Amino acid sequence: MSAVAQSIETRTEEQELTDGFHLVIDALKLNGVTTIYGVPGIPITDLGRMAQAAGIRVISFRHEQNAGNAAAIAGFLTRKPGICLTVSAPGFLNGLTALANATTNCFPMILISGSSEREIVDLQQGDYEEMDQLAVARPLCKAAFRVLHAADIGIGVARAIRAAVSGRPGGVYLDLPAKLFGQVMNADAGAKSLVKVIDPAPAQIPAPAAVRRALDLLKGARRPLIILGKGAAYAQADEAIRTLVEKSGVPFLPMSMAKGLLPDTHPQCAGAARSTVLKDADVVMLIGARLNWLLSHGKGKTWGDAPKKFIQIDIEPREMDSNVEIAAPLVGDIGSCVAALVDGLGSNWPAPPAEWTAAVGAKREENVAKMAPRLMKNTAPMDFHGALGALRTVIRERPDAILVNEGANTLDLARGVIDMYQPRKRLDVGTWGVMGIGMGYAVAAAIETGKPVLAVEGDSAFGFSGMEVETICRYNLPVCIVIFNNNGIYRGTDVNPAGGDVATTVFVKNARYDRMMEAFGGVGVNVTTPDELKRAVDAALSSGKPTLINAVIDPAAGTESGRIGNLNPQSVVKKK
Ligand code: ADP
Ligand code: TPW
Ligand code: MG
């Protein structure tokens, strides 16, 4: 043995050592991370193994985008950053889509990717999976960090956690080069280098003058409206929000993922009178909802001619005046802002003019009555409303089930038809209207909450993450997937006028998605009527067995792009 080797051996006998692998795991555990979503491979395979051995639940996916989506929605559901772990370049890029989507939706998540050797990457000498990942990630997320020394792992993980959950939540990238994992240091010094993040998302109290300004505006309103967004669902200030709505008597409109914060059947819910309230309201209070495309940027036809004033509650100051003037900006965390407003309402806050609440109520009853017969049609093939009528009953009977929803018609119609009763039970395509969130969200929803999950998926939407049915079977998750199979994107009836290939929006006819589930030991069911659909979903949710129901929908039933066909650009050139 050489003198040097001998001296190292003597030293290791004297002191206990740790390394990068263990420090990353210890740092995550110290900060309460219980689950990692990812895909293994060089250089993070052993990190996953060791994390599992150390008691962290490590959920292996078939594609990083789905693992990333799982981490993102875990962040939304728990207010702790969801962790996604990927390999270098291609795995990193697959996960990056989910990180960007999380940032866009204000969900806290951390994408941890292994990366290649810095010296080789920076000289572009062609390393295994070479890519300057930090530079690529930076413009697409809220913050991006790289750790080069084992002694900095603790601080690196702490920065990532705080960046993800403080202020406006978002996606954070943490770059861990392969060499870091093998770096050795004294175990005591390593333990001391770890950082437990104290109060990672500190309360941000609104200024009293801003609270008064908002209350004054609300008090003077003749036709007030509260819009609840997914920021309000995320904030977990459920009781305070309910009190504000009920004490003020103001009608409320939930955005898609805020449905259930108060039940859609609540007497003040204006969900079924959306166009009326947006058009006619004179004072609109936004709580954790942005005036982006989903709210027509706060102007134009949707908002009518009646002059409007906006009160906006948001933790991000720069959100104010992003699209229109905000008359009463209330910057702070929703829990603190809403509590301050409730205080200010006092005990004899005047109800809004009865004329207004009655008009909203009447419109709502009218629209509900108009839709009712369409939901009761029990025919084959089903149309969307018939099938959704059955699923609406399922959720009414099982309000604690989590509904995941994506597609075009399948999304827009389910959002309108299926009433939600509890907060954070509806997870969908979010701000981007992105396809592919379905199975990642379903897996994480089941794992994080232990509740049954009902994923209502367009046949196209499902295809973006469909291979994860194996993951669902492997972990034996209580997920029931219903595929609204109309043979394609929007519809299955398009024809290619030039002949030859089928139209771009059309899939294989009479496909049997249920058999995909059977391939992995799950339950597959093919249904053609709403009654059959209801029975199959009930059986799945009661048994908790992974189930996929192929629901045969009339291929002619859908419309182009569901409810947002108006966003398609139109060609002005006449065809020859
Ligand atoms: P929706 O799509 O439902 O309309 P958005 O995603 O557009 O909702 O808006 C969510 C908003 O909520 C974001 O502007 C975000 O900054 C804000 N937000 C998120 N969490 C909080 C919080 N705890 N307190 C205050 N605002 C928050
Ligand atoms: C990542 C564009 C929006 S909706 C949709 C696509 C491809 C599928 C609609 O068909 P589906 O639903 O799911 O069968 P239905 O009920 O209307 O038949 N790529 C990404 N995101 C989006 N939004 C698209 C493409 C799109
Ligand atoms: Mg379809």
The tally of domains found in the chain comes to: 3
Res 11: pLDDT: 57
Q: Which of 331, 362, 393 is the last residue of a domain?
A: 362
The alpha carbon of 229 and the centre of ligand 3 are apart by a number of angstroms equal to 27
Res 3: pLDDT: 56
Per-residue pLDDT tens for 363-419? 999 999 999 999 999 889 999 999 999 999 999 999 999 999 999 999 999 999 999
Per-residue pLDDT tens for 45-83? 999 999 999 999 999 999 999 999 999 999 999 999 999
Phi, psi (degrees; rounded to nearest 5) at 82? -75, 140
Q: What domain range includes position 159?
A: 18-193
Residues 348 and 393 in one domain: no
CA dihedral sign, ordered 8, 9, 15, 20: positive
CATH number of the domain to which 336 belongs: 3.40.50.1220
**What amino acid occupies position 570?**
Q
How far is it, in rounded angstroms, from Cα 457 to Cα 216? 44
Per-residue pLDDT tens for 412-424? 999 999 999 999 9
Nearest CA to ligand 2 atom 19: 435
Q: Do the domain assignments include residue 201?
A: no
Angle between helices 438-449 and 64-78 (to 10 degrees): 40
Res 14: pLDDT: 73
- Cα distances from 355 to residues 220, 242, 359, in angstroms, run 15, 23, 6
Mean pLDDT computed over 426-443: 98
Residues 382 and 517 in one domain: yes
The chain-wide mean pLDDT, for the chain, equals 96
Q: Which atom of ligand 2 is nearest to the CA of 459?
A: 14
Residues 444 and 542 in one domain: yes
Q: Which atom of ligand 1 is nearest to the CA of 234?
A: 20
Residue 201 contacts residue 336 (beta carbons within 8 Å): no
Per-residue pLDDT tens for 154-207? 999 999 999 999 999 999 999 999 999 999 999 999 999 999 999 999 999 999
CATH number of the domain to which 181 belongs: 3.40.50.970
Q: Do the domain assignments include residue 8?
A: no
Q: Do the domain assignments include residue 370?
A: no
For the Cβ of 79 lying below 6 angstroms from any atom of ligand 1, the answer is no
Nearest CA to ligand 1 atom 9: 289
Residues 335 and 393 in one domain: no
Residues 348 and 219 in one domain: yes
For the Cβ of 408 lying below 6 angstroms from any atom of ligand 2, the answer is yes
Structure tokens, 9? 């051996």
Res 531: pLDDT: 97
For the Cβ of 434 lying below 6 angstroms from any atom of ligand 2, the answer is yes
For the Cβ of 410 lying below 6 angstroms from any atom of ligand 2, the answer is yes
The proportion of the chain whose per-residue pLDDT surpasses 70, expressed as a percent, equals 97
Q: Do the domain assignments include residue 6?
A: no
